[in-house]
Amino acid sequence: MRTFLRKWQEELKKTFTGRSDAPPDWALRLEDGDDPGYHLPGSAVWAVHGSMSPIVAGIRTLLMQSLHPGALAGVHEHSNFRDDPLGRLAHTIRWIFTVTYGSREAAEEASGRVRRLHAPVQGTYHANDGGARSYSANDPRLGSWIHLAFTDAFLASHKLWGGRIPGGPDAYVGEWAQAGRLMGVDRPPLTESAMRDELDRWYRSGELRADERVAETVDFIRNAPLHPILRPGYRILFAGAVYSLEPRYREMLGLSVPRLGPFPLPVRLATKAVLGVVRLALGPRGPSELAARARLRRLGLSVADA
């Protein structure tokens, strides 16, 4: 049993960071920098991103983002998500945690790096009206959908499986708007109600759709190529992500809340249990947060959570 648990912990760390033996170098470098960063201990962003709920939120984000044919075309035509999905995940986690915990300089540099990688991601897709539409990964409108799907997923997942959010949901939406601005999004929403209004406008716009490519993507996400030791837990986390979706998006994606065996646990409870085990394996504070706290102490600032 001890060998099994050690292997499970190693594979878990490798999935999120690309390494099982030590924290990734980029996380340790978040201790560097001469400013506090955009987000501080006690902020809504630290509360949400420092919990385990982002694990479910990441799955939900991918499902939501796939509903925009421009976003999906960029992934299918310009990324190696099939050959190296875990590497792509590690890069995304690096950006999220750098903006969350890093200095302003580090957050801006990381966002600039992502935007440079996005620069050649361009092409065309067939819109729902039959016409051809161009897409660009750095287009502010497309970036707005990506940012909305992310913010909504992280907030919804934390409401279900996280703790208290300092300042409430509006604080999280308003604080994480900075990440949208760093990625070139024009006027990201600053409150939960504004975010909901924008999501409604997207839903009614006729730009979103579910087609064969979306179904193929959903199937890939459902059956992510993880180490066999992680698959039972992932099955539950995927069910949690589906559970967290609004019914209208579940319907578009052709999904329903899965049954977890012949005598299923409630999905919400089962997801909470898996996240609790993951927290025990990874520890209450990750290396990115610990590095940020060390930077703040060096700068003579409080690292209290209040």
Note the pLDDT tens digit of each residue in 226-250: 999 999 999 999 999 999 999 999 9
What's the pLDDT score for residue 305?
59
Find out whether 202 and 43 touch, Cβ atoms under 8 Å: no
Tens digit of pLDDT for each residue in 89-99?
888 999 999 99
* End-to-end CA separation in angstroms for the chain: 39
CA 106 and chain centroid, separation: 19
Task: List, for the chain, all residue ranges whose pLDDT scores fall below the cut of 50.
Answer: 306
* Per-residue model confidence (pLDDT) at position 74: 87
Amino acid 264: pLDDT: 59
262: left (phi over 0), alpha (psi -120 to 50) or beta: alpha
The pLDDT value recorded for residue 83 is: 67
What predicted TM-score, i.e. pTM, was given to this entire model?
A: 0.93
> Distance between CA 158 and CA 53 in Å, rounded?
5
Sequence-ordered strand ranges (E) for the chain: 122-126, 132-136
Predicted confidence at residue 306, as pLDDT, reads 42
